[in-house]
Amino acid sequence: MARKRKIGNAVCYAILIIMSIIWLFPFVALVLQSFRGESGGMVNYLVPKQWSLANYQFLFSDSCKYVRWYTNTLIIALAVTVLQTMVIICVSYALSRMRFSGRKALMNIWLVLGMFPGFLTMICLYFLLKQMGLTEDGAVPGLILISVASSGMGYYVCKGYFDSMPRSLDEAAILDGATRAQILTKMIIPLSKPIIIYTALVAFMAPWCDYIFASYVAFGHENGYNVAVSMTRWVWTNDYQGYFTRFCAGGILVAIPVTILFMCLQKYYVEGVTGGATKG
Amino acid sequence: MEEKIVRRGPVGRFFHWLGKDLKEIGATFAEGDLKTKLSFLIMGYGQLLRGQVVRGLTMFLLQVASLYFIFGFGWQYFSKLPTLGTVETAKINRVTVYGDNSFLILLYGLLTVVVIALLIFLWRVNVRQNREAEKRLARGKRLASNAEDLRSLLDKNFDKTLLALPVLGIFVFTVLPIIFMICIAFTNYDVNHQSPARLFTWVGLENFKAIFGLGGQEGFGNTFFYVLGWTLVWAFFATFLTYFLGMAVAILINKKGIKLKKLWRTVLVMTIAVPQFVSLLYVGKMFAVDGLVNAYLLKWGWIQTAIPFWTNATYARILIIVINLWIGIPYTMLIVTGLLMNIPAELYESARIDGANPLQTFWYITLPYMLFVTGPFLLTQFIGNLNNFNVIFLLNQGNPKSMSLTNNAGATDLLVTWLYKMTINDSNYKIAAVIGIMVFLVTAIISLVVYNTMPSVKDEEGFQ
């Protein structure tokens, strides 16, 4: 019996180790490529023949607007994090703790709206932003506006969390003379730290991957790019061999802070997605 | 008093409600005093004179603003909605004379319709406020003071304060654009009818006919069903393969005697943490003809010529599903790991005593429990995969293209990536809009069917 278990565990470890290699391989390769001194696209070896920091130096040189793109993305991510979290808390509180006429109807309408594919409305949104002067070089505030404006519809996980807090808390507070606004700011928010961190984390991660809409809104104007748009253009350009190692370096610089942040807050992320998965 | 119980359908109920409402409006007017009667014309008049300055002023200002919008701005567009403009932009003596702009007419025309509806709603609220105020006064009660009205926005009416901005934002940037695009599906707005230079107009169901292969236009029908078919196949495999394999991995890591559980999980979770445009672009390139995978296979002499991973339709499809496992397994693993702990240990204990082997415990305990609990998750995953733009587009942009498909559609294109290409590359907005509606229909039908058969849909209030 003990021997059987030992063999079983050995097989399990073997599977896990193989999986880990598969899962980590692209990242290791990415890091190695970013330090490669030789030019060219993908090459048929992994470890650079000549180690160099040239790719990173290029990112920060004057011939490349990487710093600008990075700052753009960071600004969008931070602004969206703060505003979207606030919007979602407000909406979740209203829908979870208050009963008003039209509440069910509102939730159903939002549910139906969510079934339309996001890019359907792209040309219309572009036009609206253009009217406000928030496209091309001014794409950053435009992207913030678009992300935040519709974020109220993503209330499900947060509302689910609020729903699980006993209603009697509210009732007791109202008896003590607290207003609804005080209940939200003094009671619900302090009790909801995990879900607020989860909401903020998700809001922060999304802008780093936003390629589709960001590239459309910036419309070829370099000053309005975010990192996803500019890096993707590097890979898809005809001269991709010349930019490939630079893309690797640029990608690494984006991935490191986002990954570290995610790993630190992983606990809250798991809590959020698990809650969201079971309550729908 | 005995009430007659009449069963009505939704239409019947609506007219019943409308009749009752109209009767009440009539009664308000007939029984009301002069202040109330004048409020029918000047919104907020009655409230203002009864001392409810905040309500009165708000109502009055809203009325002025919406009337100003309708007649000062919206009417010129609204009145042209039936034709979407008749005067074409022309060049007369080298000077461009701008005619009608169909895009603006449709967008602002719709906005005007909504503002009119809003005004009617506000007017109804205004009439009701007058009615209620009169009733209160007749019973000798005091009306809510201005300070009380304002304070209620932080208390009894806090929901209105909280929801005002989000609802407005969703309206302007989601609802209005969606209505606009639904309308576009019934027009001929495309590269030959681009505003402002050209006009576009209503064409009825032409575009829908084209998509279903009727009307004999450019063979859209084949392409549409081809893309729809792959979208469904993709969503099915992407959802269920990741689900079962993710669950297997979670159980594997959870197994008694496996050490370093946290390390294994962290390694897998890397794919969630690293932004997808970095990881997917790199992995996509890895499998290119000149990519790392082919390079090594050639170097080791396992193959003689590079495998065309991305240019062969079947290879591309299989590869995309496999790479999606790399993205999706960790996600399922995270969720399942959390839920595995919730399964009562006694169940496993008694199964072990009854002599069940690990496979049986999985089949009879773990799996039913998981399916029951993660029903909503599977549904959202499936719908998310129907619209999974990033994986498809960052890996190979829906390629390879094929001569038998129209409008740049490729073998791995989903409906949404096809929609995107049509909007960006071909300016074929009318067909893009139809496809958007089709995606909506597919999503809605699947959601409805699954939702109504799912056992774990519980009463929302049940949790509280």
More confident of the two residues B461 and B5: B5
Helix (H) / strand (E) element for A180: namely helix A180-182
Among A27, A119, A150, whose Cβ lies nearest the Cβ of B274?
Answer: A27
**Cα–Cα distances in Å, from B427 out to A95, A215, B199, B419, B431?**
40, 16, 15, 10, 9
B200 in a structural domain: yes
> Which residue among B204, B229, B244 closes a domain?
B204
Q: Cβ contact (<8 Å) for B172 and A30?
A: no
Predicted local distance difference test score (pLDDT) of residue B217: 56
B422 and B180 Cβ atoms separated by less than 8 Å: no
Q: Cβ contact (<8 Å) for B295 and A44?
A: yes
Considering chain A, what percentage of its residues have pLDDT values greater than 90?
Answer: 42
B278 plus B409 within the same structural domain? yes
Q: How far is CA B168 from the centre of its chain?
A: 16
B396 in a structural domain: yes
Q: Which two tokens stand for residue B95?
A: 């000077």
Instruction: Encode pLDDT of B172-202 as tens digits.
Output: 999 999 999 999 999 988 888 887 778 888 9
Question: Which residues of A are less than 8 Å from B169 in CB distance?
Answer: 87, 148-152
Q: What is the DSSP string of B392-445?
A: HHHHHTT--B-TTSSTT-BTT--HHHHHHHIIIII--HHHHHHHHHHHHHHHHH
Q: What residue spans of B288-406 are helical by DSSP H? A: 292-299, 313-340, 345-353, 358-361, 367-373, 375-386, 389-396
B187 and B200 Cβ atoms separated by less than 8 Å: yes
Domains of chain A and any CATH numbers: 65-279 (1.10.3720.10)
> Which residue among B183, B204, B225 closes a domain?
B204
On average, the pLDDT of chain B sits at 86
Predicted local distance difference test score (pLDDT) of residue B216: 55
B126 and B45 Cβ atoms separated by less than 8 Å: no
Among A90, A117, A146, whose Cβ lies nearest the Cβ of B439?
Answer: A117
Predicted local distance difference test score (pLDDT) of residue A278: 72
Point out the least confidently predicted range of A263-267, B5-9, B51-55, B325-329: B5-9
Question: Which residues of B are less than 8 Å from A16 in CB distance?
Answer: 252-253, 258, 264
Q: Cβ contact (<8 Å) for A266 and B269?
A: yes
Q: Which residues of chain A have pLDDT under 50?
A: none
Nearest chain B residue to A178, by CA? B155
Residue B402 pLDDT greater than 80, yes or no: no
Residue showing tokens 């019996």: A1
Provide the CB-side half-sphere exposure for B222 (13 A, CA): 13
B210 in a structural domain: no
3-state class of B92 per DSSP?
A: strand
Q: How many angstroms separate the CA atoms of B259 and B264, rounded?
A: 9
Q: How many angstroms separate the CA atoms of A266 and B386, rounded?
A: 27
CATH number at residue B316: 1.10.3720.10
* Buried/exposed code over B63-85 (b: 16+ C-beta within 10 A; e: otherwise): beebeebbeeebeebbebbeebb
B27 plus B122 within the same structural domain? yes
B192 plus B219 within the same structural domain? no
pLDDT confidence bin for B427, thresholds 50/70/90: confident
Question: Which residues of B are less than 8 Å from A266 in CB distance?
Answer: 266, 269
Q: How many angstroms separate the CA atoms of B173 and B155, rounded?
A: 29
Predicted local distance difference test score (pLDDT) of residue A204: 93
B314 plus B443 within the same structural domain? yes
B463 in a structural domain: no
Sign of the Cα torsion B183, B186, B188, B191 reads: positive
pLDDT confidence bin for B456, thresholds 50/70/90: low
B3 in a structural domain: no
B462 in a structural domain: no
Question: Which residues of B are less than 8 Å from A29 in CB distance?
Answer: 282, 286, 292
Q: How many CB atoms lie within 10 A of CB B386?
A: 23
Q: Taking residues B375-402, what's their average pLDDT? A: 87
Residue B170 pLDDT greater than 90, yes or no: yes
Q: Cβ contact (<8 Å) for B165 and A87?
A: yes
Residue B385 pLDDT greater than 60, yes or no: yes
On average, the pLDDT of chain A sits at 88
Q: Cβ contact (<8 Å) for A254 and B326?
A: no
**Nearest in space to B226 (alpha carbons), one of B234, B238, B217, B216:** B234
Which structural domain, as residue segments, surrounds residue B451? 215-457
> Which residue among B204, B239, B263 closes a domain?
B204
Nearest chain A residue to B326, by CA? A23
B23 plus B121 within the same structural domain? yes
Question: Which residues of B are less than 8 Å from A144 in CB distance?
Answer: none
Considering chain B, what percentage of its residues have pLDDT values greater than 90?
Answer: 28
Instruction: Encode pLDDT of B149-169 as tens digits.
Output: 888 888 888 998 999 999 999
Q: Cβ contact (<8 Å) for A235 and B103?
A: no
B186 plus B277 within the same structural domain? no
Q: Please tell me what DSSP assigns to residue B173.
A: I
Q: Cβ contact (<8 Å) for A153 and B170?
A: yes
B79 plus B225 within the same structural domain? no
B418 plus B274 within the same structural domain? yes
B90 in a structural domain: yes
Among A117, A149, A181, whose Cβ lies nearest the Cβ of B155?
Answer: A181
B250 plus B148 within the same structural domain? no
Q: How far is CA B202 from the centre of its chain?
A: 25
Q: Cβ contact (<8 Å) for B170 and A150?
A: yes
Nearest chain A residue to B296, by CA? A44
Question: Which residues of B are less than 8 Å from A91 in CB distance?
Answer: 162-163, 166
Domain count, chain B: 2
Instruction: Encode pLDDT of B284-335 as tens digits.
Output: 988 988 888 888 888 888 888 888 888 888 899 999 999 999 999 998 998 8
Q: How far is CA A53 from the centre of its chain?
A: 29
A113 and B173 Cβ atoms separated by less than 8 Å: no
B4 in a structural domain: no
Question: Which residues of A are less than 8 Å from B150 in CB distance?
Answer: none
B436 plus B291 within the same structural domain? yes
B124 plus B269 within the same structural domain? no
A66 and A250 Cβ atoms separated by less than 8 Å: yes
Sign of the Cα torsion A135, A139, A143, A144 reads: negative
Rounded to 5 degrees, what are φ and ψ at B94?
Answer: 65, 5
pLDDT confidence bin for B459, thresholds 50/70/90: very low
B33 plus B146 within the same structural domain? yes
Predicted local distance difference test score (pLDDT) of residue B218: 61
3-state SS string over B29-66? HHHCCHHHHHHCCCCCHHHHHCCCHHHHHHHHHHHHHH
